[in-house]
A and B are shown apart, each in its own frame.
Chain A
């Protein structure tokens, strides 16, 4: 048993947001999903205020050492999520972390406030990889921009706030430092790296319906290690480290770089119980692992 941001977890492996749909998986696998749930906490797909259809297909491209996705954050919107998804996700045998995204600070604030009062939600993760339409800046790409966002949303909830850092910026460590200074409880990284594939049959056209997408899989693992390590040198916040993890050894590397929890994403696409295997093997590796490089958990705000 470990504690992360005041939340008790059975082990250190969680899912990356948007890489596992527990409701759909239950349709495919039935109650076995709950009985052998792979993750210590479940991070849901990004929720936005209004419903989103997502990007037109094709949405996937296989590439050396991984893939590019251009999904476009399809979701039922806040109301649909609260009505249809939250009651189902509350049945999961692990704590629920809800990932939210808005196109203005106020939109993010409305999402945070709505989940602040829901007991089913253990923590919130902020997807800051989108532009603030009022400033034109990617919320998580600029330290001052992120500070402004946190100044609006931090007072709205006592639940732990995790900032999902984007690797597509000049200095994720600077952004992490701003997150720490402005009240975030943890950071998670890395999100996918922006990438593109050309259409094999149509000269000059991109393959993906959304034009560009996010690169994930083993191809990004070295980048994840380097960014987690950099962020660890700058902040004392707990870190959820992820990027290309396929084995307990990869998870252990991220732990050594400074991560408290480790996210598994793309590897779940190859085997839905990959995270369960990694967690079991990682627990054995942990026995020889020194005490947490970082404070074990942010103090509860309560």
Chain B
């Protein structure tokens, strides 16, 4: 799929006049809505869920959705899950199919991962503020770690061939996720696939060759800390898609704050994409 611009004539996303907020973000319909899970597939330790969302707008790359299984949301370990779970959109297809990438790491992701095709999935979104285009014609470098590679797929599609994507995983099994972003270069912690080491090694080497770049990153907090440090050291602009425990996704609970130069900001409304300069 292209993921670019105007959708195909027979697709839900053929329209480009989805309502936008004052800051340009695509607005979410004001309710969670039931969607059908039309496709699921396992990819190493990850699961890709595809939901049909004809009621929703085409999301901006970097935006996210709150997901809830319509049935048995609750009743798992410790009677959880209770709250919806936030997921960056992996891809939005022209036929209003939305892909999400998840890894079973807790009661919420476990319940979502066991959903079967045909099950109902509640969506709220798209939410938050996504990625902004590179400044001053800079070359985009996308850096992902683990399940955090998700928003880089839709963003890489939008940026096209100019984007270089670097992905880091624990091992070869997890690196199967790299199949979602063809052409990406891979690093693994144990060296079982690609570069033996950290994805930030690859980023450092790239910036050493050509610092006229803008970095887009999503992954575990230590990886984002390292990316931010490299960006600051090399004086390269960067945008980080961050994650924090979140109850609502639309600014109500004040739970998902991260510390920035202007104090705590809520990732759900002021992010999830935060400029490295703000940190």
* A contact residues vs B (CB 8 Å cutoff): 18-21, 23-25, 27-30, 32-33, 36, 53-54, 56-60, 62-67, 69, 71, 74, 217, 266, 268-273
Contact = CB atoms under 8 A, between A and B. Distances in A.
Contacts of A25: 250-252
A67 B82 contact: yes
Nearest to A25: B250
B124 A271 contact: yes
Interface string B152-170: 0000000000000000000
A269 B83 contact: yes
B82 A217 contact: yes
Nearest to A70: B255
Nearest to A65: B79
A59 B31 CA distance: 25
Interface stretch (B6-14, B171-179, B240-248): B240-248
A3 B251 CA distance: 30
Interface string B247-272: 11111111111110001101011000
B78 interface: yes
A71 B255 contact: yes
Given A27-B23, A29-B30, A71 B253 contact: yes
A60 B21 contact: no
Contact of B251 (A24, A62, A71): A24
Interface in B54-83: 68, 78-83
A67 B246 CA distance: 11
16 contacts: A28-B128, A28-B268, A32-B27, A32-B29, A32-B30, A53-B264, A54-B254, A59-B255, A60-B247, A62-B80, A62-B81, A64-B79, A67-B247, A269-B252, A272-B30, A272-B32
Nearest to B129: A27
Nearest to B85: A62
Contacts of B245: 57-60
B248 A272 contact: yes
Contact of B244 (A27, A57, A273): A57
B203 interface: no
A271 B33 CA distance: 9
A59 B21 CA distance: 28
A29 B32 contact: no
A65 B236 CA distance: 46
Given A19-B253, A25-B250, A64-B79, 5 more contacts: A28-B268, A30-B27, A36-B30, A217-B82, A272-B32
Nearest to A18: B254
A28 B269 contact: yes
Contacts of A71: 253-255
A62 B82 contact: yes
B121 interface: no
Nearest to A217: B82
Nearest to B126: A28
Contacts of B187: none
B84 interface: yes
Contacts of B254: 18, 21, 54, 59, 71, 74
Contact of A271 (B21, B32, B78, B263): B32
A263 to B, nearest CB: 14
Contacts of A59: 245, 254-257
Contacts of B259: 56
Given A28-B27, A30-B27, A272 B252 contact: yes
B253 A69 contact: yes
A157 B249 CA distance: 37
A66 B83 CA distance: 8
Top 8 A-B residue pairs of the complex, sorted by shortest distance between their CB atoms: A24-B251, A64-B79, A32-B30, A60-B255, A269-B248, A28-B250, A29-B30, A269-B247
Residue from B83, B246, B268 whose CB has the most chain A CB atoms within 10 Å: B83
Given A28-B28, A57-B257, A60-B247, A270 B83 contact: yes
A230 to B, nearest CB: 27
